[in-house]
């Protein structure tokens, strides 16, 4: 400070400027490699680097050498359990996407094998997902009627799967995984709940045995379609559907109560399929209007590279469908993987997961599989069955393979209504009303996002819901950025601590000093707002002091602790505030500017402009300096001039 | 704390929950009324409220009663000065938009009168702006050729002006002014520089006396157009244009050196027009290929309400043009107003300005005026000429009115090439290369935004440049939000202060304790990143301690000072971090959570889950508690158990 009258105990350090390319490098690293994936590669010989690099992209190579027979026993049991779920779910979800049921089975064979090699989750069970299936129908069905032109429809679905995989892999390779983070938890809860609701509504077709049904997915169209055909309702399917639904719901209810019963819950869909098929076979219900699956082709996945319709006039639609379903699948899959990784305390690499998802969908699209991800229901069963590694996926794929080779004829008499019951039962678990209630209790805005997404999906369409949810989420981010908090600080009695006077009513104002904490980094998007808000704080404080007749305002301290960074608009804001504060005869002080902020303020000459002696390490030291000047000033007005005169000498 | 062994000096206050509607109300107020415009209305009788309300929307009523003759003298001089600039600029900019020159004069008559009533800036001079003029031609000219179908083209320009005004007024009334803030300073510098460059390039047509010219605005098209017609170049116009440009640039250069010469600079365009006209008149240059303005209709603005083409098939284009030019005009105008308000230390209300801009453009579109805003050049002249209030705009309008009524025939022989020189001279001042150099020095990312906008405009098109600039700015905001800083804190010797070890090399680590400061509010967009980054810090710290053989890690303190708010995703992140930290046998402590954060953590039961005794007012107190437990633990391991046992009792 160089001032004999007042010695500031600490100085704010200005870190030396880093060379441009070094700071660019570290900035890019923090942005795109926050998890530092290459850390183990450091200081290793080239051969080890190669092995570690291979292991990075194919995690199977990493854990396979350590794989034990104990692990295999656990994975075998888990794999068979999820296979019993995968077969009926595969058929059901494929029919939800209006694809041939066999494609649902194909999709539970190749993608799990790819994921087992490349995925980093130990608990994720791979397969088709309900919401993406419905989305495929919604988006492709608008352009091509799956009943009138089934071949083209399948081709477009495969093409969409290919582009979904391409996008997912690109996200992972370009390390753009953070894009998925912009789908907030609240958005996903609302969107999934809405999608589950309309998936259930679609099942009314199967439950009521209707032949004609609306192509719309919104509540109004479905209700109109259902109630305009009251005379076509079939009591046979209705009774069958309701009893299976009751059976499945009952089992789910008990398995939730008692953890050890989860086996029965996992096996229930397969049991329903077997029971339903036997029932139809012996009662010949298929001749009384109960629709059945019919003939399923035997044999493994045929190659489908030549089916990818890159030259089709509907390519745009296929790409759009791929992009949207790919992102949705990714968001759900990564979230599911993270949830279970947390339970077992291991890390999942989001970008690696994306590459794995992408590769499995690209491989899938070439082998007659449609879009797959990590469905929550199947993964939960896998986890509960005690899986140890992704080998459970290999076991499941093998079981599905055996089914494809030898058991498809057994599904000939499976009634569609049972599949509807299975879908409804799975979907009811996705309507997470408890999470919505929790959101209402904790954060009203998050609840609004959630409920808007839900309403958009149920009353509009899946796309409308998605657009609304993403828009609100983005607007929220922009609003967050545009409207940071400014807080008045006061002194906690008998300490050097300064805290929000709102939060700590005991914190007392310092006479003649206004202390403001700026609550966020200062960027172009909030610089104008902050300038207005800070000046309003000063106005209000001056008015308050005037009306109460207390001492007038002399100093304004800005606590910069929370200002992590700043851009040129933010610096202009400081220059403007300084001018306004000077014009009122007040003095501006800064407390605790961070490394990046002080560097930029120095580069832009703002520090020289305001005088480095007005920058303090803590609010407490700034207040001490203010008090010193205020009191010395009263007894000896020369001192403050001497202090101010430093401005010229710096 | 309730622990006999360790007494924490301060507790973190949990403010009582506010009723929902009260917090909604205060949230909305902070978001949309940060400047609290209704403050003067509080506790006033109804009649005063009415007057104050009227004065709010028509600021003229506020300052008119205090208007003095002294003010008028100053405003008269300033008004005449800007009128001398307004006439040639109006004609030039209208021809830039390919509109009849007379519309440029009309536009300097009605809108300034409206603005004088409603605007809150004392220095802004209203008139057409170059960039918006060029944009109108770029966007409308693509659909309708102004030479082939001049009537429809003018109608569309008026319609676009109407929608621009509507949008601007709506922004102001809905208090959405913050949308303009998302055009950062860097974006505007780059965009304006690029636009000025292409405006200059367009003037090559006039300077070289070319008759046919490209409709493209990019560098490549213009260069191709210029060099493919080398044989059509006319030396007469070239010499004339270059000499006037030299004259104008010379005067600008000297007026910058010496403030008192600004008069000459302000009058220079008018002098050029007079000189050029006289020259042409006496040399009959118009017969040697020097194009002149020709006949200008006498008389004031005709009404044009019936010209607004709401039923036109090009309405979409007109609306799009209106929206884009409206936002650009607003951004420039508000920025210019703010700049000069800062010099004179008064406040400009952004929302009020938007309403004034909107009303003046709506009124303008009904009286044959095209889009107007607050051009920088004209406002700077107004400011330098010593204007006191918006009356200078009224004086200018009156001068323009006299021109319209009596002086239009004088412009018959004004050569177009002089107008080109005037435009180039004005535009050269808008290419703010010094600001770009400043950006490079202070903030490389801002420089990137700036230069991308420039390159996009010059090599692509105005629209491409705008889209690039806005996209980069938005991406930047999203990246800011997605990648907050985490900083390791250390103890400043001989104090209770904890600061970044990067910034303060003297700050020393506390053995066994990792202190991390989270640098931003925690939202869905950064929760995943922060989780990964914090766990990586812990990993790295453990590795470091292991390799150095020092004491192992026991405590992780998260400093929450900079976490202004949190959403449900952020709370989940804390729950996940707590689980991971627990699984490693470490303890998580929080320091100084703010009001909103602690409220939400409490509502979501996270505090009960982690135990309120692990939350401290300052980092210093948290470290003291850690040291106490570490040392008592060594001598008496029971204490730490007793401390932990409190978790169950909370």
Residues 6+ positions from A465 with CB-CB distance below 8 Å: A190, A191, A194, A195, A453, A454, A455, A456, A457, A458
**Highest-scoring range by mean pLDDT, A83-87, B90-94, B158-162, B636-640:** B158-162
Beta-carbon neighbour count of residue B521 at 10 Å? Answer: 27
Mean pLDDT of A404-423: 87
pLDDT of B303 over the 50 cut? yes
**Highest-scoring range by mean pLDDT, A171-185, A240-254, B11-25, B393-407:** B393-407
Q: How far is B543 from chain A (nearest CA, A)?
A: 11
Q: Is B524 on the interface with A (CB under 8 A)?
A: yes
Q: Is A145 on the interface with B (CB under 8 A)?
A: no
pLDDT in tens, B75-99: 998 898 888 888 888 988 998 899 9
What is the CATH T-level fold of the domain A483-649, as seen in this structure? Transcription Regulator spoIIAA (3.30.750)
Q: How far is A318 from chain B (nearest CA, A)?
A: 26
Nearest to B335 by CA among B344, B322, B348, B326: B348
What Å distances lie between residue A374 and A1, A387, A459, A528, B536, CA to CA? 62, 15, 27, 45, 26
Mutate to test the interface with B, among A335, A594, A603 (most CBs of B within 10 A): A594
Contact A564 B520 (CB under 8 A): yes
Mean pLDDT of B506-524: 88
Q: Which of A287-291, A559-563, B372-376, B570-574 has the lowest mean pLDDT?
A: A287-291
Mean pLDDT of B397-401: 94
Q: What is the spatial distance between Cα A291 and Cα B543, in angstroms, rounded to a whole number?
A: 63
Q: Are A444 and A166 in contact (CB under 8 A)?
A: no
Residues 6+ positions from B63 with CB-CB distance below 8 Å: B389
pLDDT in tens, A319-338: 999 998 998 888 888 888 87
Q: How confident is the model at residue A92 (pLDDT cuts 50, 70, 90)?
A: confident
Q: In this structure, what DSSP letter does residue A515 have?
A: E
Contact B178 A536 (CB under 8 A): no
Q: Report chain A residues whose CB lies below 8 A from the CB of B485.
A: 564-565, 596
Mean pLDDT of B378-403: 90
Q: Which of A24-33, A493-502, B524-533 has the lowest mean pLDDT?
A: A24-33
The reported pLDDT for the residue numbered B125 is 93
Which candidate from B571, B594, B595 shows the least CB-CB separation from A442? B571
Residue of chain B whose Cα is closest to the Cα of A537:
B35
Mutate to test the interface with B, among A562, A577, A618 (most CBs of B within 10 A): A562
Beta-carbon neighbour count of residue A640 at 10 Å? Answer: 18
pLDDT in tens, B199-208: 888 888 888 8
Q: How far is B176 from chain A (nearest CA, A)?
A: 11
Choice between B20 and A416, residue whose per-residue pLDDT is larger: A416
The reported pLDDT for the residue numbered B517 is 93
The reported pLDDT for the residue numbered A550 is 67
Q: Is B28 on the interface with A (CB under 8 A)?
A: no
pLDDT in tens, A170-185: 998 888 777 777 777 7
pLDDT of A5 over the 60 cut? no
Q: Is B492 on the interface with A (CB under 8 A)?
A: yes
Q: Report chain B residues whose CB lies below 8 A from the CB of A523.
A: 184, 476-477, 480
Mutate to test the interface with A, among B564, B572, B578, B596 (most CBs of A within 10 A): B564
Mean pLDDT of A6-24: 74
Q: Report chain B residues whose CB lies below 8 A from the CB of A601.
A: none
Helix residue ranges per DSSP H, A142-234: 150-173, 178-181, 185-202, 204-208, 219-227
Mean pLDDT of B543-549: 82
Choice between B101 and B258, residue whose per-residue pLDDT is larger: B101
Q: Report chain A residues whose CB lies below 8 A from the CB of B499.
A: 592, 617
Residues 6+ positions from A460 with CB-CB distance below 8 Å: A218, A468
Contact B572 A350 (CB under 8 A): no
Choice between B395 and B342, residue whose per-residue pLDDT is larger: B395
Dihedral sign, Cα of residue A150, residue A152, residue A153, residue A155: positive
In the CATH scheme, what architecture does the domain B484-649 have? Answer: 2-Layer Sandwich (3.30)
Q: What is the spatial distance between Cα A457 and Cα A112, in angstroms, rounded to a whole number?
A: 30
Contact B564 A520 (CB under 8 A): yes
| Encoded tokens for A268 | 């229930």
Q: At what angle do helices B462-482 and B315-344 cross, to 10 degrees?
A: 60
Q: What is the spatial distance between Cα A471 and Cα B402, in angstroms, rounded to a whole number?
A: 52
Interface of B with A in 200-229 (CB under 8 A): none
Q: Are A589 and A617 in contact (CB under 8 A)?
A: no
Residue of chain A whose Cα is closest to the Cα of B537:
A35
The reported pLDDT for the residue numbered A407 is 87
pLDDT of B460 over the 50 cut? yes
The reported pLDDT for the residue numbered B472 is 77
The reported pLDDT for the residue numbered A315 is 92
Q: How many CB pairs under 8 A join A and B?
A: 237
Burial class (CB in 10 A: 0-12, 13-18, 19+), A549: exposed
pLDDT of B645 over the 60 cut? no
Q: How confident is the model at residue B640 (pLDDT cuts 50, 70, 90)?
A: very low
Q: How confident is the model at residue B446 (pLDDT cuts 50, 70, 90)?
A: confident
Q: Is A572 on the interface with B (CB under 8 A)?
A: yes
Mutate to test the interface with B, among A15, A346, A519 (most CBs of B within 10 A): A519
Nearest to A516 by CA among A546, A494, A485, A543: A485
Average pLDDT, chain A: 85
The reported pLDDT for the residue numbered A311 is 86
pLDDT of B647 over the 50 cut? no
Nearest to B574 by CA among B585, B590, B586: B590
CA atoms in the 13 A half-sphere facing the CB of A462: 26
The reported pLDDT for the residue numbered A474 is 76
Residue of chain B whose Cα is closest to the Cα of A576:
B342
The reported pLDDT for the residue numbered B1 is 39
Q: What's the whole-model pTM score? A: 0.76
Find residue A522's DSSP bridge partners.
A566
Given strand B587-591, what is the order of strands in its sheet? B498-500, B486-491, B513-518, B555-559, B587-591, B615-616
Which candidate from B35, B535, B572 shows the least CB-CB separation from A532? B35
pLDDT of B636 over the 70 cut? no
Instruction: Say how far residue A410 (Cα) sits from the centre of its chain.
Output: 40
Which candidate from B185, B342, B618 shows the least CB-CB separation from A568? B185
| Encoded tokens for A170 | 């690109």
Q: Is A567 on the interface with B (CB under 8 A)?
A: yes
Mutate to test the interface with A, among B336, B443, B542 (most CBs of A within 10 A): B443
pLDDT of B399 over the 90 cut? yes
Interface of A with B in 146-185 (CB under 8 A): 178, 181-185
Interface of B with A in 317-356 (CB under 8 A): 338, 342, 345, 347, 350
Q: How far is A243 from chain B (nearest CA, A)?
A: 38
**What are the two backbone dihedrals, phi and then psi, of residue A574, each rounded to the nearest 5 degrees?**
-65, -40
Tell me the domain boundaries of chain B: 69-226+233-479, 484-649
Choice between A132 and A345, residue whose per-residue pLDDT is larger: A132
Which residue, chain included where needed, has tokens 């009751």?
Answer: A246
Q: How confident is the model at residue A94 (pLDDT cuts 50, 70, 90)?
A: very high
Contact A583 B345 (CB under 8 A): yes
Mean pLDDT of B209-229: 84
| Encoded tokens for B86 | 């307004």
Beta-carbon neighbour count of residue B602 at 10 Å? Answer: 17
Q: Which of A347-356, A531-540, A628-637, B475-484 has the lowest mean pLDDT?
A: A628-637
The reported pLDDT for the residue numbered A635 is 52
Mean pLDDT of B338-355: 80
Q: What is the spatial distance between Cα B616 and Cα A497, in angstroms, rounded to a whole number?
A: 12
What Å distances lie between residue A552 and A614, B170, B229, CA to CA? 20, 40, 72
Q: How far is B488 from chain A (nearest CA, A)?
A: 12
Q: How confident is the model at residue A638 (pLDDT cuts 50, 70, 90)?
A: very low
Q: How far is B605 from chain A (nearest CA, A)?
A: 10
pLDDT of A539 over the 50 cut? yes
| Encoded tokens for A381 | 């069963």
The reported pLDDT for the residue numbered B32 is 76
Contact A569 B184 (CB under 8 A): yes
- B242-251's contacts with Cβ under 8 Å and 24+ in sequence apart are B242/B207, B244/B272, B244/B275, B244/B276, B244/B417, B244/B418, B244/B421, B244/B422, B245/B207, B245/B421, B245/B424, B245/B425, B247/B272, B248/B272, B248/B421, B248/B422, B248/B425, B249/B425, B249/B428
The reported pLDDT for the residue numbered B634 is 57
Contact B186 A524 (CB under 8 A): yes
CA angle A618, A622, A626 (to 5 degrees): 165
Which candidate from B35, B185, B481 shows the least CB-CB separation from A572? B185
The count of residues in chain A is: 650
pLDDT of A538 over the 60 cut? yes
Contact A20 B444 (CB under 8 A): yes
Percent with pLDDT over 90 in chain A:
25
Contact A477 B478 (CB under 8 A): yes
ipTM reported for the complex, 2 dp? 0.78
Q: How confident is the model at residue A419 (pLDDT cuts 50, 70, 90)?
A: confident
pLDDT of A41 over the 90 cut? no
Q: How confident is the model at residue A273 (pLDDT cuts 50, 70, 90)?
A: confident
Q: What is the spatial distance between Cα B321 and Cα B307, in angstroms, rounded to a whole number?
A: 17
The reported pLDDT for the residue numbered B166 is 95
Q: What is the spatial distance between Cα A446 and Cα B527, in angstroms, rounded to a whole number?
A: 14
pLDDT in tens, B584-628: 889 999 999 988 889 889 888 898 988 888 999 999 999 999 988
Beta-carbon neighbour count of residue B151 at 10 Å? Answer: 9
Interface of B with A in 415-474 (CB under 8 A): 438-439, 441-446, 473
Q: What is the spatial distance between Cα B446 and Cα B462, in angstroms, rounded to a whole number?
A: 19
pLDDT in tens, A100-138: 999 999 999 999 999 999 998 999 999 999 888 988 998
Give strand ranges (E) for B357-405.
Answer: none
- A489-498's contacts with Cβ under 8 Å and 24+ in sequence apart are A489/A515, A489/A516, A489/A517, A489/A559, A489/A619, A490/A515, A491/A623, A492/B10, A492/B617, A495/B9, A495/B10, A496/A618, A496/A620, A496/B496, A497/A620, A497/B10, A497/B617, A497/B618, A498/A559, A498/A619, A498/A620, A498/A623
Which residue, chain included where needed, has tokens 């400061």?
Answer: B517
Q: How far is A613 from chain B (nearest CA, A)?
A: 18
Mean pLDDT of B421-429: 84
The count of residues in chain B is: 650
Q: Which of A272-281, A357-366, B172-181 has the lowest mean pLDDT?
A: B172-181
Q: How far is A580 from chain B (nearest CA, A)?
A: 6
């Amino acid at each position: 400070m160089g001032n004999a009258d007042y010695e500031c105990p600490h100085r704010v350090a200005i870190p030396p400027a880093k060379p441009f390319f070094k700071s660019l490098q570290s900035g890019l690293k923090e942005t795109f490699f926050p998890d530092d994936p290459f850390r183990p590669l450091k200081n290793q010989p080239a051969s080890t680097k190669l092995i570690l690099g291979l292991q990075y992209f194919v995690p199977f190579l990493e854990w396979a050498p350590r794989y034990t027979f104990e692990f295999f026993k656990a994975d075998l049991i888990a794999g068979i359990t999820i296979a019993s779920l995968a077969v009926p779910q595969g058929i059901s979800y494929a029919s939800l996407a209006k694809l041939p049921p066999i494609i649902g089975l194909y999709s539970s064979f190749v993608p799990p094998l790819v994921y087992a090699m490349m995925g980093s989750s130990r608990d994720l069970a791979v397969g088709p997902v309900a919401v993406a299936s419905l989305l495929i129908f919604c988006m492709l069905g608008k352009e091509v009627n799956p009943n009138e032109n089934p071949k083209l429809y399948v081709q477009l679905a495969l093409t969409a799967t290919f582009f979904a995989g391409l996008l997912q892999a690109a996200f992972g390779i370009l390390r753009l995984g953070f894009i998925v983070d912009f789908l907030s938890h609240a958005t996903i809860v609302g969107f999934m709940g809405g999608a589950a609701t309309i998936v259930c509504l679609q099942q009314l077709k199967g439950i009521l045995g209707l032949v004609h049904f609306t192509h719309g997915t919104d509540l109004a169209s479905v209700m109109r379609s259902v109630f305009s055909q009251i005379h076509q309702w079939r009591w046979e399917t209705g009774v069958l559907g309701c009893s299976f639904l009751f059976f499945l719901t009952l089992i789910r209810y008990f398995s939730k109560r008692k953890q050890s019963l989860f086996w029965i819950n996992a096996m229930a869909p397969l049991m329903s399929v077997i029971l339903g098929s036997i029932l139809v076979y012996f009662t010949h219900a298929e001749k009384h209007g109960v629709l059945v699956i019919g003939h399923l082709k035997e044999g493994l996945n045929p190659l489908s590279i030549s089916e990818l319709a890159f030259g089709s006039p509907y390519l745009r639609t296929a790409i759009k469908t791929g992009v949207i379903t790919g992102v949705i699948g990714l968001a759900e899959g990564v979230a599911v993987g993270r949830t279970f990784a947390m339970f077992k305390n291991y890390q999942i690499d989001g970008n690696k997961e994306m590459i794995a998802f992408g590769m499995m969908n690209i491989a899938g699209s070439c082998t007659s599989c449609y879009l797959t991800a990590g469905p929550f229901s199947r993964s939960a069963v896998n986890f509960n069955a005690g899986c140890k590694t992704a080998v459970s996926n290999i076991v499941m794929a093998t079981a599905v393979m055996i089914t494809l080779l030898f058991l498809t004829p057994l599904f000939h008499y499976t009634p569609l209504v049972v599949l509807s019951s299975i879908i409804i039962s799975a979907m009811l678990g996705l309507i997470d009303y408890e999470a919505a209630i929790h959101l209402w209790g904790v954060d009203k805005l998050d609840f609004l996002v959630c409920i808007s997404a839900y309403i958009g999906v149920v009353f509009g369409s899946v796309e409308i819901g998605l657009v609304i949810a993403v828009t609100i989420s983005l607007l929220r981010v922009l609003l967050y950025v545009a409207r940071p908090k400014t807080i008045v600080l006061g002194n906690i009695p008998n300490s050097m601590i300064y805290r929000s006077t709102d939060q700590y009513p005991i914190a007392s104002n310092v006479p003649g000093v206004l202390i403001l904490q700026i609550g966020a980094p200062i960027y172009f998007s909030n610089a104008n707002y902050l300038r207005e808000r800070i000046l309003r704080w000063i106005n209000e404080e001056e008015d308050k002091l005037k009306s109460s007749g207390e001492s007038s305002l002399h100093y304004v301290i800005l606590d910069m602790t929370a200002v992590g960074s700043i851009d040129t608009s933010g610096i202009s804001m400081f220059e403007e505030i300084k001018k306004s504060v000077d014009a009122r005869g007040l003095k501006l002080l800064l407390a605790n500017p961070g490394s990046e902020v002080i560097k930029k303020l120095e580069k832009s000459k703002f520090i020289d402009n305001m005088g480095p002696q007005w920058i303090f390490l803590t609010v407490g030291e700034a207040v001490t300096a203010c008090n010193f000047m205020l009191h010395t000033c009263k007894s000896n007005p020369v001192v403050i001039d001497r202090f101010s005169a430093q401005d010229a000498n710096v």
